[in-house]
Amino acid sequence: MILVVCLNPALDVTHYVSAVDWAGVNRPTAVHTRPGGKGLNVARTLHALGADVLLMGLAGGDTGRAVEAALRQAGVPSALIPISGLTRHTFTVVDDAGTTASFNEAGPEVTAHEFDSLRMAYLEALATTDAVVLSGSLPPGLPVTTYAALIQAAAAAGVPVLLDSNGAALLQGVSAGPAIVKPNLDELAGATGKILSASGTVCAAGTVCAAHTVDRAAVREAATELRAAGADAVVASLGPAGLLAVTAEGCWHAWPSAVAAGNATGAGDAVAAALVHGLVARRPWDERLRHAVALGAAAVAAPVAGEFRRESYLDGLRPVAVRLEEVR
């Protein structure tokens, strides 16, 4: 079983309008409400892949109940610990030009007692868990060492952890020795203080391309630094330029055959799901990365975060390029 921990789930509300009038009344042409938060996207994706998954998290109030009900309807097994605060909303407005503005609440204040209930359930679940995913932001009230403590508990039970977070929670978590850490470029730059973009860089396809302005040498250096800080493997996601992974075997680059058009929000969650799926299936690194790149691209092509079309994922597997650029 893969245990996905989502400490700060959300009820995502999206309003579609033709154009936003910031000084007047806006009447959305469509309103979509669905459960969100990075861990939820990972759990939904794993469930769609056919994995045995349990989503564990904290939920409170009407929004918490709505998240729970939506998960039940989607058939994703969940164990949500009740809290007194309200599960947050995230609010997104999309206009006809595709311009998107997001308003993400910080989330409810979680008490030490509430977190302790989750910790007890987590420790119990570890006995039947093959891998843990810790994903997303921490709600207010929880210390930045929260993920590190959960990683240490998993390590004591012999369970590998994939960590996808940012800032101090990411750095503290890395020091606790997760099996895989998956920062995107901003998260990696924030964690290491390195500049990772270089305009005009030759892109994966061998041409200079505005979308692929990633300085891969700098990314490799930053990922190597995070690995030295404690992670067994660092998989940096580079947007359309794919993945750069620093593992015990060396440094890998994997990239999609074409840049997909669509909604890139949640592509990183699809990558996290594929990586943990590959870890549990004991796939070698080149195959894990191939699946992760194909699933990331399929997630971009699907309109809603946390979803993908199976054919688009499977058809995209073979054309993914995977290269071991530096052997350790």
Question: Contact residues for Mg ion (CB under 5 A)?
Answer: 184, 268
Q: Specify the residue, 177 or 316, whose C-beta has the smaller distance to ligand ATP.
A: 316
Q: Specify the residue, 80 or 302, whose C-beta has the smaller distance to ligand ATP.
A: 302
How big, in percent rounded to 5, are the helix, strand and coil portions of the chain? 40, 25, 35
Using CB under 6 A, pick the residue from 114, 265, 290, 306 that binds ligand ATP.
Answer: 265
The least CB distance from residue 31 to ligand ATP, in Å, is: 22
Q: Counting contacts by CB under 6 A, is residue 321 touching ligand ATP?
A: no
Cα 45 off chain centre by:
11
Three-state SS annotation for 182-227: CCEHHHHHHHHCCCCECCCCECCCCCECHHHCECHHHHHHHHHHHH
* Euclidean distance between CA atoms 229 and 167, whole angstroms: 14
The CB density around residue 95, as the number of other CB atoms within 10 Å, is 15
In contact, 38 and 6? CB cutoff 8 Å: yes
Nearest residue to 116 via CA among 63, 163, 58: 58
Structure tokens that stand for 201 in this block:
């860089």
Here's the x/- map for ligand ATP, 212-251, by CB under 6 A: it reads as -------------------------xxxx-xx--------
Q: Which does 264 bind (CB under 5 to 8 A by kind): Mg ion, ligand ATP, none?
A: ligand ATP
Using CB under 6 A, pick the residue from 53, 94, 142, 293 that binds ligand ATP.
Answer: 293
Q: Counting contacts by CB under 6 A, is residue 278 touching ligand ATP?
A: no
Q: Which does 60 bind (CB under 5 to 8 A by kind): Mg ion, ligand ATP, none?
A: none
Q: Which does 121 bind (CB under 5 to 8 A by kind): Mg ion, ligand ATP, none?
A: none
Closest chain position to Mg ion (CB): 268
* Strand ranges inside the chain, DSSP E: 2-6, 10-16, 30-36, 53-59, 78-82, 88-94, 100-104, 131-135, 161-164, 180-181, 233-237, 243-247, 250-255, 321-327
The least CB distance from residue 222 to ligand ATP, in Å, is: 14
The least CB distance from residue 96 to ligand ATP, in Å, is: 21
Q: Which does 231 bind (CB under 5 to 8 A by kind): ligand ATP, Mg ion, none?
A: none
The least CB distance from residue 182 to Mg ion, in Å, is: 7
Q: Which residues bind ligand ATP (CB under 6 A)?
A: 184, 237-240, 242-243, 256, 259-260, 264-269, 271, 293, 296-297, 300
